[in-house]
């Protein structure tokens, strides 16, 4: 059966977006992640319990939060934002240049200061990019988030085999390129208005939804606390070249999986359940650490690094979804989100380091981390309705028109939800999965909808919807 023209139009708009320079420019955030992976982290993700790493986490978390406090969570003028972005780029360029070239006149204290300021600037860059993504529909945001993760992993893989001087020059170029692409993306968004999410939500989250996202933030804090503890575990040597290549290639492939799932298979992307799928991987990696074998530790390090990469994408998507449904400026949501992620991470690392000074065996510690992971899973299972709908972002006018149509036709709220999904070209099986009901319940809704509208087929329903859409 042919898909409805409304969905075909959506697909054509998405294709036009990614074929244009705007879609390409939105991938500029990849270069911020490349900078992070090479300047502060030196291509390592796990097993770094240094003071520099903790400073990096604290700077990334606190800098955006201080901006929120300074502006009291209110909108920031375009001119002020431009100045802040330019300052952040300059700090990242200087910090990346000095750290990468490792000048002999820089002592350890000066290097730590440069690392802290550079990480703070990069933390603000993430938040600033969030303002771009928050204005896009979730379909495009989903593709861009995971495609940018894949691109950054590919770039990092290439840098592994390049001379140090080339890597150092890239650390200087990455912030500049990212800034230019961000400016072009912001300017080009006006060329694709049909792909821009509603700039002001029709209503804020109600109490139930706030509780759901409260549970999600609690899970994020607990997960970050565990993740910080993982940094201090005795992984032994840093990732060797074979495992580093395996990590980068695996991250590239895994980042493309959500795109295939949503774009080609037309399935709903549940960030919570994808997050839950990564937790068994983490648990398995922790058990590998207990073996104490060098290869097992290297494999554990690789698995944990891949899991971290995917969770990063899930958090980004969830923050985008929240920012599109609240009245606060997007930078506030992203600042709070990354603060909830990185502050507990630093605290978890400090707590584990203190624990290991009194208890030299890591077995007890790993058991504690596994228990905390299990608790975080309970928080993630609870907010079932907070999943990201990657193929629909209704504007306020569309929501209002839907409510009027439901009143005109005498449809219940659930029947109207089914009508909207069918109008998007969804199958009855998808409707059942989306609304968490059985397929028989959906069939019952369809029979009542047909009776109320005096129609006999899905094609007639779609014709009615398209007629209403044209009239609106």
Q: What is the pLDDT of residues 214-239, one digit of tens each?
A: 777 777 888 888 877 777 776 656 66
Q: Where exactly does CATH 1.20.1250.20 map onto the chain?
A: 17-386
Sequence-separated (6 or more) residues with CB below 8 Å from residue 470 = none
For the segment(s) 17-386, the CATH number from 3.30.9.10, 3.40.50.1980, 1.10.3720.10, 1.20.1250.20 is 1.20.1250.20
Distances, alpha carbon 422 to alpha carbons 12, 262, 426, 429, 465, in Å: 19, 17, 5, 11, 10
Q: Indicate if the pLDDT at residue 8 is higher than 50.
A: no
* Nearest-angstrom CA–CA distance, 373 and 379: 10
Helix (H, G, I), strand (E, B) or coil at 105: coil
As beta bridge partners, residue 388 has 269
pLDDT at 466 (0 to 100): 67
Token couple for 279: 């937790």
Q: Mean pLDDT across the stretch 392-417?
A: 62
Q: Mean pLDDT across the stretch 176-200?
A: 72
Q: Which has more confidence, 394 or 308? A: 308
* Nearest-angstrom CA–CA distance, 117 and 115: 6
Distances, alpha carbon 447 to alpha carbons 372, 437, 453, 464, in Å: 47, 16, 10, 16
For the entire predicted model, the pTM comes to 0.74
Confidence at 410, pLDDT banded by 50, 70, 90: confident
pLDDT at 191 (0 to 100): 62
* % of the chain at pLDDT higher than 70: 75
Confidence at 211, pLDDT banded by 50, 70, 90: low
Q: Which has more confidence, 411 or 342? A: 342
Give the CA count within 13 Å in the CB-facing half-sphere of 180: 6
Confidence at 200, pLDDT banded by 50, 70, 90: very low
Q: Indicate if the pLDDT at residue 388 is higher than 60.
A: no
Token couple for 343: 């502050």
Measure the N-to-C terminal CA separation of the chain; round to a whole number of Å. Answer: 26
Confidence at 16, pLDDT banded by 50, 70, 90: low
73-82, 226-235, 246-255, 387-396: least confidently modelled range: 387-396
* Nearest-angstrom CA–CA distance, 300 and 282: 8
Sequence-separated (6 or more) residues with CB below 8 Å from residue 348 = 224, 225, 226, 227, 228, 229, 230, 231
Torsion of CA 197, 198, 203, 205, to 10 degrees: 20
Q: Which residue has the tokens 């990069």?
A: 122
Q: Where exactly does CATH 1.10.10.10 map onto the chain?
A: 396-471
396-471 — its CATH code? 1.10.10.10
pLDDT at 393 (0 to 100): 44
Q: Which has more confidence, 89 or 405? A: 89
Q: What is the pLDDT of residues 136-184, one digit of tens each?
A: 877 788 888 899 999 999 998 998 888 888 888 888 899 999 999 998 8
As beta bridge partners, residue 145 has none
Determine the longest span between alpha carbons in the chain, in angstroms. Answer: 82
Q: Indicate if the pLDDT at residue 201 is higher than 50.
A: no
Helix (H, G, I), strand (E, B) or coil at 196: strand
Q: Mean pLDDT across the stretch 350-359?
A: 77
Q: What are phi and psi of 388, to 5 degrees?
A: -85, 120
* % of the chain at pLDDT higher than 90: 13
């Amino acid at each position: 059966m042919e898909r409805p023209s409304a969905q075909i139009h959506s697909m054509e708009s998405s294709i036009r977006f990614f074929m244009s320079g705007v879609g390409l420019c939105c991938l500029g955030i990849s270069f911020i992640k490349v900078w992070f992976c090479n300047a502060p982290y030196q291509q390592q993700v796990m097993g770094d319990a240094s003071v520099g790493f903790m400073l990096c986490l604290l700077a990334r978390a606190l800098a955006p939060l201080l901006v929120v406090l300074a502006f009291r969570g209110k909108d920031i003028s375009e001119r002020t934002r431009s100045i802040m972005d330019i300052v952040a780029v300059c700090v990242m360029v200087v910090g990346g240049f000095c750290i990468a070239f490792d000048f002999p006149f820089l002592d350890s204290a000066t290097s730590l200061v440069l690392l802290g300021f550079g990480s703070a600037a990069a933390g603000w860059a993430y938040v600033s990019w969030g303002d771009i993504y928050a204005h896009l529909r979730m379909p495009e945001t989903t593709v861009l988030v995971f495609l940018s993760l894949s691109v950054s992993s590919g770039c990092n893989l290439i840098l592994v085999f390049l001379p140090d001087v080339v890597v150092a020059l890239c650390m200087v170029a990455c912030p500049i390129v990212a800034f230019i692409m961000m400016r072009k993306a912001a300017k080009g968004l006006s060329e694709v208005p049909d792909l821009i999410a509603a700039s002001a939500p029709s209503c804020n989250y109600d109490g139930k939804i706030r509780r759901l996202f409260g549970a999600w933030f609690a899970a994020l804090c607990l997960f970050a606390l565990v993740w910080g503890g993982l940094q201090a575990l005795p992984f032994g040597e840093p990732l060797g070249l074979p495992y580093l290549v395996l990590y980068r290639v695996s991250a590239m492939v895994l980042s493309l999986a959500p795109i295939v799932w949503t774009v080609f298979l037309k399935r709903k992307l549940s960030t919570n359940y994808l997050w839950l799928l990564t937790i068994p991987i983490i648990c398995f990696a922790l058990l590998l650490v207990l073996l104490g074998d060098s290869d097992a530790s290297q494999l554990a390090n690789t698995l944990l690094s891949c899991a971290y990469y995917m969770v990063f994408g899930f958090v980004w998507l969830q923050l985008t979804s929240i920012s599109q449904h609240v009245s606060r400026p997007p930078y506030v949501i992203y600042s709070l989100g990354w603060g909830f992620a990185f502050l507990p991470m630093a605290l978890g690392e400090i707590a584990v380091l203190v624990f290991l000074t009194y208890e030299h065996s890591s077995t007890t510690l790993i058991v504690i981390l596994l228990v905390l992971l299990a608790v975080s899973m309970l928080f993630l299972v609870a907010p079932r309705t907070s999943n990201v709908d990657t193929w629909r972002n209704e504007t306020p006018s569309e929501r209002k028109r839907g409510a009027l149509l439901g009143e005109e036709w005498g449809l219940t709220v659930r029947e109207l939800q089914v009508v909207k999904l069918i109008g998007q070209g969804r199958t009855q099986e998808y409707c059942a999965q989306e609304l968490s009901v059985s397929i028989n319940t959906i069939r019952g809704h369809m029979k009542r909808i047909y009776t109320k509208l005096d129609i006999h087929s899905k094609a007639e329903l779609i014709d009615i919807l398209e007629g209403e859409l044209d009239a609106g």
